[in-house]
A = this chain, B = another copy of it.
Amino acid sequence: MERQFDEELKILKEKLLEMAGRVEGSITVAIKALTDRKEELAQEVLENEEKINLMDIEIDELCMRLLALRQPMASDLRFITSAMKITSELERIGDQAVNISERTLELLQYPLLKPLIDIPRMATLAQDMVRDSINAFINGDDKLAKDICLRDDEVDSLNDQVFRELLTYMMQDPSTITRAVPLILVGRHLERIADHATNISEDVFYLVKGKTIKHHCEQSGWRTESK
């Protein structure tokens, strides 16, 4: 019985890793669609969403089954309830990749405003945060979890930079507005992805240390977005 439960927990971990891999893939493809101006890649992200949603439901149901049948105590209980929260975060990260693709489809109607530099940088940072947050969960690594929370500030400040630069473009030449606004939104979508990775990391910290850093690793600032 004990052994079977360990096996089920292992399956849960594998499923989470698989879902995280798919979500990460969505971010990569969404940003590639944007930078390479490829409509078919943007469409690919939209199609991938359905699979991510199904994985969310599947993992959620597996967790409920484990809670009901195994009635786990202490650390296993925490692990399973954390997994339920983490899968929702992953699903929402997938949704943000969809949002980026929708903005890309809008942008493809117009010529390129400017070569994109900060947005791909933000995307790489956000993607690393997602990958690391799941690794922190699987390995119970609270140090990595804390580090991810701190990296969130870097994404926020890049987003501020993107926002200010595009605002300047619009003010100097209003004909750029229809192309600048979707890019501002892409910046926000990436910022939200980093926020979700931060939420996961906060859950991991709680899981490992038994105390919360939620609502404490956020920096409050003028432009900082609340999660």
Contact = CB atoms under 8 A, between A and B. Distances in A.
Contacts of A225: 99, 102
A84 interface: yes
Interface in A187-227: 188, 212, 214-215, 220, 222-223, 225-227
Contact of A167 (B85, B92, B181): B181
B178 A181 contact: no
A141 to B, nearest CB: 21
A95 B198 CA distance: 15
Interface in A25-40: none
A64 B49 contact: no
A43 interface: no
A11 interface: no
Given A68-B73, A170-B170, A96 B177 contact: no
Contacts of A220: 46
A48 B105 CA distance: 39
B64 A81 contact: yes
A78 interface: yes
A91 to B, nearest CB: 8
Interface in A73-103: 73-74, 77-78, 81, 84-85, 88, 92, 95-96, 98-99, 102
A142 to B, nearest CB: 18
Contacts of A177: 167, 170-171, 174, 177
A71 to B, nearest CB: 4
A108 interface: no
